Amino acid sequence: MADPDLPPAKDAPAPATEPAPTDTGAAVPVVAERGATPPPTGVLGILVRHQAIVVPILAVVLAFAIGAILIRAQGFNPTYAYEVLFTHSFATESGLLATMQKTTPLILVGLAVAIPLKVGLFNIGGQGQLMAGGIGAAWASYALRDLPAALIVVVAVVVAVLLGAMWASIAALLKTTRGVHEVISTIMLNSIAVGLIDWLVNGGPLSDKGQPFPTSHAVPEGARLLPFLKLIPWGLPVALLLSVVVAWMLKRTTLGFELQTVGRNKFAAGYAGIGTTKATLVAMALSGGLAGLAGAFELLQIEPYRYQNGIAGSLGFDGITIALLARGNPLGTIPAAVLVGAMRAGAPTLQFQLGIRPEVVDVLLAITLLMVSLPVIAKLIFRRHATKQTQLAGSWGA
C-alpha cells in the first residue's frame, strides 16, 4: 500500500525532491544532494523504504523496554505486567470490548490531529473538541428524549460533530483572521471547555439535579449504542471507515491535494491559487468534527451514558501520540489507536492484579511519544536516508 506519508518515503535517498519546510521568508536553500549517497540495497534498503513503519515499531519496542526498567524499579516483574496487560486487553471478552470501545474515539482523535498536520497545523485541541461533542450529544439526546431512538442517535451525533467542528473553528478563525497560533488557542479552548462543561453539568442548565454528583442527564435507554452482537461497539466500524475515507480524501481528491500542498509549502500553494485560509478552516473544521464524533460515541456507547467530568480522560492528548506514531498517515492511526486503546483498556487490570498504578500507561505512552518523535533513532539507523521530520515551528512567528 502506498502511504501518503508527510515526506515522500520512497524518495528518501534523494532529498532534492524534498519540499522546502514551511519557512517564513528567510531563504533556506535546499541544496541538492543527489548522488551524494547511492540508495542502500539489501536489508537496509528494505528498511529505509519502509521506515514510516519501521521507526514507529522500533519506538514502541524501545518505549516498552524503558517502561520495563521503570516497572522493575517499582518492584514488579515487567514481562508479567505486559503479559497481564495485553492478555486482558485482547484475550478476554470484557477486555476486548473495552479495547474496542477505547479504540473508537482514539482513531477519531488521531485523525483529528493527523489531518491538520498535513496542512502544517498542530491541533492540540482534540480534547476540548471531543468534550464539546460529548456534551452536545448529551444535551441533544436528553432534549429529544421523547422522539424515536434512531432519530435521537442521529441528531445527537450530528450535534456533536457540529459542536466539535465549531470549537475547532474558533481556533481556526483566530488563526486566519488574527494570526493567533493554533497551539495556544486550542490549549486555551481545552481549558475553557473543561470549565464551561463543569458549569453546565454542575448546577448549570444541563445538570441532572436528581443525582448526588455532578452529571448530565442520562441518554434515553433506547438511544444507547449497546455493542453490536454484544461484541463490537457501533462506533468502531464508523471510525475505521472514516480513517479510510480520510486517507482517500487526502490522496485522491482535489481538497486533499490542496490541503497537502498548503502543508508542504504555503507560498507555492498561494502561487498556485490555493488559499491557506480555506485550507486552515477546512482542516480544523474536519478535525473538530471528527473529535466531536469521538465525544458522541464516548457518551452514547459507554457506561454510564451520562456526561460526567473526567469521562474524556486524556483521549485528546492520546490523539497526539497516535497521530505522531502513525506519522500523520490516516490509515496508520488504526494500529496506533489499537495499541493505545489496548493499553488504556488494560490499565485497570494492572492495578487489580498486580497493584501497579494505572498511570504506568501514561508513562509508557509518553515515552513512546518521545521515542517516535526523536529524529535521532531514525538517524542512527538510516543515517542520511532518514526522512525529514514534520516541520511545524516555522509558523510560530508568522
Instruction: Say what the alpha-carbon torsion angle 149, 152, 157, 161 is, to the nearest 10 degrees.
Output: 180
Cβ neighbour number for residue 199 with a 10 Å cutoff: 14
With CB under 8 A as the contact rule, the residue among 17, 92, 202, 211 that binds another protein is 202
With CB under 8 A as the contact rule, the residue among 19, 275, 313, 394 that binds another protein is 394
Q: How many residues touch another protein (CB under 8 A)?
A: 57
- Comparing CB distances to another protein, the nearer of 223 and 367 is 367
**Minimum gap (Å) between residue 33 Cβ and another protein:** 12
Q: Which of 61, 56, 38, 63 is nearest to 383 (CA)?
A: 38
Q: Is residue 198 involved in binding another protein (CB under 8 A)?
A: yes
With CB under 8 A as the contact rule, the residue among 9, 249, 324, 340 that binds another protein is 324
DSSP string over 243-309: HHHHHHHHHHSHHHHHHHHHHH-HHHHHHTT--HHHHHHHHHHHHHHHHHHHHHHHHHSSTT-S--T
Considering only CA atoms, give the Rg of the chain. 22
Q: Is residue 184 involved in binding another protein (CB under 8 A)?
A: yes
- Comparing CB distances to another protein, the nearer of 240 and 363 is 363
Q: Which of 176, 190, 52 is nearest to 130 (CA)?
A: 190
User: CA dist 23 to 7, 175, 262, 398, Å?
Assistant: 16, 17, 12, 9
With CB under 8 A as the contact rule, the residue among 51, 112, 360, 385 that binds another protein is 360
- Comparing CB distances to another protein, the nearer of 174 and 290 is 174
Of the listed pieces 102-110, 299-307, 342-350, 367-375, which binds another protein according to CB under 8 A?
A: 367-375
Q: What SS3 class is residue 313?
A: coil
DSSP symbol at 384: G
Site for another protein, residues 107 to 126, rule: CB under 8 A: 122, 124
- The three cell numbers locating residue 390: 514534520
Q: Is residue 23 involved in binding another protein (CB under 8 A)?
A: yes
Are 284 and 121 contacting, i.e. CB atoms less than 8 angstroms apart? yes
DSSP string over 196-216: HHHHHHTTSTTB-TTSSSS-B
Site for another protein, residues 373 to 392, rule: CB under 8 A: 373-376, 389-392
- Comparing CB distances to another protein, the nearer of 1 and 73 is 73
Q: Is residue 179 involved in binding another protein (CB under 8 A)?
A: yes
Q: Is residue 215 involved in binding another protein (CB under 8 A)?
A: no
- Comparing CB distances to another protein, the nearer of 202 and 353 is 202
Q: Is residue 69 involved in binding another protein (CB under 8 A)?
A: no
Q: Is residue 178 involved in binding another protein (CB under 8 A)?
A: yes
Contacts of 66-71 with CB under 8 Å at 24 or more apart are: 66/367, 66/371, 67/360, 67/363, 67/364, 67/367, 70/360, 70/363, 71/356, 71/360
- The three cell numbers locating residue 387: 526522512
Q: Is residue 31 involved in binding another protein (CB under 8 A)?
A: yes
Residue 263-302 contact track with another protein, rule CB under 8 A, x = bound: ----------------------------------------
With CB under 8 A as the contact rule, the residue among 81, 242, 320, 336 that binds another protein is 320
Q: Is residue 183 involved in binding another protein (CB under 8 A)?
A: yes
**Minimum gap (Å) between residue 121 Cβ and another protein:** 10
Q: Is residue 366 involved in binding another protein (CB under 8 A)?
A: yes
**Sign of torsion, CA 85 87 92 98?**
positive
Of the listed pieces 172-180, 225-233, 238-246, 267-275, which binds another protein according to CB under 8 A?
A: 172-180
DSSP symbol at 30: -
Q: Is residue 362 involved in binding another protein (CB under 8 A)?
A: yes
With CB under 8 A as the contact rule, the residue among 153, 174, 242, 282 that binds another protein is 174
Q: Which of 222, 190, 224, 211 is nearest to 101 (CA)?
A: 224
Binding residues for another protein, per CB under 8 A? 23-24, 26, 28-29, 31, 70, 122, 124, 174, 178-180, 183-185, 187-189, 191-192, 195-196, 198-199, 202-204, 314, 317, 320-321, 324, 357, 359-360, 362-363, 365-367, 369-370, 373-376, 389-398
